[in-house]
Structure 1
Amino acid sequence: MSTIYALASARGKAGVAVIRVSGPAAHDAARALAGSLPEPRRSGLRLLRDATGEVLDEALVLVFEPGHSFTGEAVAELQLHGATATVSAVLRALGELPDLRLAEPGEFTRRALENGRLDLAQVEGLADLIDSETEAQRRQALRVLSGAVGARAESWRGDLIRAAALLEATIDFADEEVPVDVSPEVLTLIDRVLEDLRKEAAGAQVAERIRDGFEVAIVGLPNAGKSTLLNALAGREAAITSEHAGTTRDVIEVRMNLGGLPVTVLDTAGLRETEDAVEGIGVERALTRARQADLRVFLLANGQMPAGLEPDPDDLIVQGKADLAAGEGLRISGKTGEGLGDLIARITSVLEGRATGAATITRERHRLAVLRAIGAMESARLEVLNGASRAELAAEELRAAIRALDSLVGRVDVEDLLDQIFSSFCIGK
């Protein structure tokens, strides 16, 4: 196993920069630069020198023994002054040492996975935590990183192993009279896990939205004030506004943070019948994106609803251009800001209500694994109900469900995923 090193903190000028070294030669490498090492997991102030004895920097040095580090290997960390030249000099000095090489993207985390310090779901949670921009994303990613998916998968796995063991006991006694009918306990175990997994599958889309962002589409007739409203929400000129109908031809997106939730607000083309081919394409795109959105804000022009799209129960009906005309209900003026706070509060309230149904699993890969497990367990349940003669088939279906759950945390069937997952990590992580 080679020893790897990299800058573990962000590039650029900073008060402190952290360089991480991991592998069998990590402590020797740190000793070569620092002269001596502090006790494991205790920091020590040292002068770092290159091979010629020139002082590179004064730094805090920490070392971790194998089994007690992030990667599970021997690790040394050098906390330097964050000048670009200082970091470059120390990295150059490490590169001149034997048996060391620069780490590849995500290689420290990959070693943590290979050494059993993290499971695959935790690796994905770490990637999400690094990318998190809102409070909801941070909380969700931290929950996954803490091992919540693995803990639940282990609980489900334990129940299914127990159920499979009971069935296999009946297979062993196939030529004898089995003293106890195990089917009631087996069905109880299957039903308990099925209930949990169905809840997870149902809440997976919400969890994925928290990770990737909810979409809110502003829809309405041409000249209803959609682009003006988008600009007011964004606090900048994100969309061109004009008194001429059909100005917006494509979907314009603005990313926002509403109550800690990531939200992309969509300004769509005005919905109307048109002879203009280009505008017609814009209308079709508007309808497609609006139907796919998590929430729609119907911005009325003189009380008129757009054709071609029916509001869902949670969608918001808003009277636009409130500065020009009186009216009832939720009223908004993108020009003056009237009603803007109320609209943001309503959108946030609807999305927060949906976020409460988020599952522990957060990715499409997780959802598909859960669906495979559900399918196998439903088949196993039917086989159990068909009698003891079908016990072997039921046990095999349960083993298929267990394999599906194992793929959640990386026990099986993940080699083809690893390169894709770690490609999103930066060098040093």
Structure 2
Amino acid sequence: MLARHQDPIAAIATAPGRGAVGIVRVSGRGLAPFVQGLLGRSLQPRQAHYLPFPDAAGRSIDQGLALFFPAPHSYTGEDVLELQAHGGPVVLQLLLARCLEAAQAVLPRLRLAEPGEFTERAFLNDKLDLAQAEAIADLIDASTEAAARSAGRSLSGAFSQEIHGLRDALVHLRMLVEATLDFPEEEIDFLRKADARGQLSNLQQTLAAVMQRASQGALLREGIKVVIAGQPNAGKSSLLNALAGAELAIVTPIAGTTRDKVQQTIQIEGVPLHIIDTAGLRESADEVERIGIARAWDEITQADAVLFLHDLTRLDAPEYIAADALIASTLVQKLSESVPVIDVWNKTDAAARPAPAATAGRAAVQLSARTGQGLDALRRELLRVAGWQSAAEGVYIARARHIEALRAVDAHLMEAAAQLESTGPALDLLAEELRLAQNALNAITGEFTSDDLLGVIFSSFCIGK
């Protein structure tokens, strides 16, 4: 534990601005003398006391509730004092300043908390693990109901329990391998009699299920970036407005109306989709429009999925067909094969004939952005390409680092399985792969985590949490 973790800390624990109630929180070891000096009396543990909060001269700053939580039965695992006052910014700043002033005599090292430091101490004092600590921030930041519920499941320990189950099975398998290494003279084949292959296979199957649920949780947290691309007047802005259910982008018959990106986040079955409307793709002599087109290609190359919008009313125009073909070939050059492109044939309400046959390997949807016909089919297709399977209750929130760690575990278990299946397996290499897999699992819950990673994680929290 670093030296700064020994300092008592204080902060305003509620959001900036005016509110009915605001909280000032103090955490540290041995806060009882500080509480006495600050409030002029002691407090019964875990009981709310309504009393005045005096300044240094004994005048009341405010009246409110004071609660004292002695260690280890507190959020941080240390002594914690909470002052619940009226939620005016000036009142809370006065209370915080008074806490720092009153501490000079009995708690001289009291300082302002850094972002996420209360939760960091909860983690360091084993009140919660790292995955649960991250779930607190994810619960606060949740943009959809499904994301909030999934974050709540992670905070309750559902994800951590899955990781601990995997780890326990992995430790048991490691024990068998290490026993074989330590006692090579024994005739008993520990691995064969203990069905090491079967244990490893079961471990891989369980890991696959955990990875699937974690991937769904990561999707709920992050969403995907979807870029609408196509020629001018294909209906890109109309499609954005239709998906968002609001007039976000200006729609006119004039080609080149959209000069810069317009972005809106929508949700489908709780999955956030960051939809971006871009400038129409064409050759242009207008300098401003050329900049907009360049930005459009920048957005396209960073997309998780692309909606390639076609105008069904112009399928008989040779110049339109040629321009679409040029855009299609450029998409192939600029996009990774892993980025799905959905052909969206717009203006079915005004088209004289149906869309042409779907391009091999690409999904296609016909719709009318003006009437809304076909929008549900597009929403379903977006969920499919995003990888969303269902809004099952078992999904828990997860982060990119969790997914990376689980993939590392999977890779190490595959190497371990290859060693077991080989003739005359190298047990020392098998043991090393299992050890590396366990380390990757431990990194998720924080049992094996660098201080640098902790700094990155908790710095993203708000101050006071």
Name the TM-score, length of structure 1 as normaliser: 0.86
Q: Can you list the C-alpha shifts for 1:241-280, whole angstroms capped at 9, x where unaligned?
A: 3433234354432222444332211213334566878767
Contact 2:62–2:85 (Cα < 8 Å) also in 1: yes
- The range that moved more, 271-280 or 157-166, is 271-280
1:246 aligns with 2:282: no
Closer/same/farther in 2, CA of residues 351 and 45 from structure 1, 3 Å limit: farther
Gap change, CA 1:391 and 1:80, over 3 Å in 2: same
Of 27-36 and 106-115, more deviation after overlay is shown by: 27-36
Q: Secondary structure at the match of 1:52?
A: coil
Q: Measure, in 2, the Cα distance between the counterparts of 1:313 and 1:50.
A: 62
Measured after TM superposition, the shift of residue 43 of structure 1 is 1.3
**Are residues 260 and 173 of structure 1, via their aligned partners in 2, closer, same or farther at CA, if it must alter by over 3 Å?**
closer
1:116 shift after superposition: 1.0
2:218, 2:291 → 1: CA distance? 29
User: Relative to structure 1, is the Cα distance of residues 57 and 250 closer, same or farther in structure 2, using a 3 angstrom cutoff?
Assistant: closer
Tell me the residue number matched to 1:6: 11
2:77 corresponds to: 72
1:54 matched to 2:90: no
1:302 equivalenced with 2:322 (yes/no): no
Quick check: 13-22 or 375-384, which moved more? 375-384
Cross-structure match for 1:320: 347
Q: Are the equivalent residues in 2 in contact too, given 1:220–1:301 (CA < 8 A)?
A: no
Partner in structure 2 of residue 339 of structure 1: 372
Instruction: Please state how far the C-alpha of 1:74 moved relative to its aligned partner.
Output: 0.8
Alignment of 1:31-180 (within 5 A): 31-97=36-102, 98=104, 99=107, 100-178=110-188
Matches of 1:167 and 1:258, distance apart in 2: 47
Deviates more, 1:347-356 or 1:97-106: 347-356
Cα separation, 2, equivalents of 1:410 and 1:216:
33
CA distance, structure 2, for counterparts of residue 103 and residue 373 of structure 1: 36
CA shift for structure 1 position 134? 1.2
CA-CA distance at 1:362 after TM superposition = 2.1
**1:29 deviation in Å?**
2.9
2:202 matched residue in structure 1: 192
TM-score (norm 2): 0.80
Range with greater deviation from structure 2 (197-206 or 55-64): 197-206
Q: Distance in 2 between matches of 1:253 and 1:381?
A: 46
**1:105–1:426: 8 Å Cα contact kept in structure 2?**
yes
**3-state DSSP of counterpart to 1:182:** helix
Amino acid at match of 1:207: G
C-alpha spacing 1:226/1:178, structure 2 compared with 1 (3 Å): same
Rounded to whole Å, the distance in 2 between the matches of 1:158 and 1:187 is: 16
**Cα drift, residue 390 of structure 1:** 2.3
Cα distance in 1 between the residues matched to 2:99 and 2:158: 37
* Local SS of the residue matching 1:70: coil
Gaps of 5+ in 1: none
Q: Are residues 389 and 425 of structure 1, via their aligned partners in 2, closer, same or farther at CA, if it must alter by over 3 Å?
A: closer
**Contact map agreement 2:405 2:443 (CA 8 A) in 1:** yes
The Cα of 1:357 is off from its aligned counterpart by 6.0
Give the superposition deviation at 1:16. Answer: 0.6
Identical counterparts, % of pairs: 38
Q: Residue 313 of structure 2 aligns to a residue in which SS?
A: coil
Distance 1:333 1:58 in 2: 57
Contact 1:231 1:238 in 2 (8 A): yes
- The aligned length equals 423
1:164 offset after TM fit, Å?
A: 1.0
Residue range with higher mean Cα deviation, 228-237 or 148-157: 228-237
RMSD of aligned residue pairs (Cα, Å): 3.2
Residue in structure 1 matching 2:409, options 360, 373, 389: 373
Alpha-carbon distance in structure 1 between the residues aligned to 2:62 and 2:246: 45
Q: Deviations over 1:377-421 (max 9, x none)?
A: 222222222356622321222111111111111112331212211
Question: 5 Å matches for 1:224-263?
Answer: 224-234=234-244, 238-263=248-273
Q: Per-residue CA shift, 1:310-366, capped at 9, x if unaligned? A: 9999947343283x56777954244xxx227x61x4444445564336965622211
CA 1:176–1:43 in 2, change beyond 3 Å: closer, same or farther? same
Q: Which amino acid aligns with 2:344?
A: I
Q: Measure, in 1, the Cα distance between the counterparts of 2:449 and 2:253.
A: 57
Residue of structure 2 in register with 1:422 after alignment = 458
Equivalent residues of 1:64, 1:74 under 8 A apart: yes
Gaps of 5+ in 2: 1-5, 316-320, 333-338, 355-364
- Pair 1:215-2:225 in alignment: yes
Give the Cα separation in 1 of the matches to 2:79 and 2:379.
Answer: 47
C-alpha contact 1:18 1:79 (8 A) present in aligned 2: yes
AA aligned opposite 1:76: L
**Residues 292-325 of structure 1: CA distance to partner in whole angstroms, max 9, x if unpaired?**
3346363534164843449999947343283x56
Which sits farther off after the overlay, 113-122 or 297-306? 297-306
Deviation by residue 1:67-102 (Cα, 9 ceiling, x = unmatched): 211111111111111122321221121010222221
Of 73-82 and 303-312, more deviation after overlay is shown by 303-312
Aligned to 1:356: 389
Q: How has the CA–CA distance of structure 1 residues 223 and 123 changed in structure 2, closer, same or farther, with 3 Å as cutoff?
A: same
* Cα distance change, pair 361–79 in 1 and its aligned pair in 2 (3 A): closer
Give the match's secondary structure for 2:195: helix
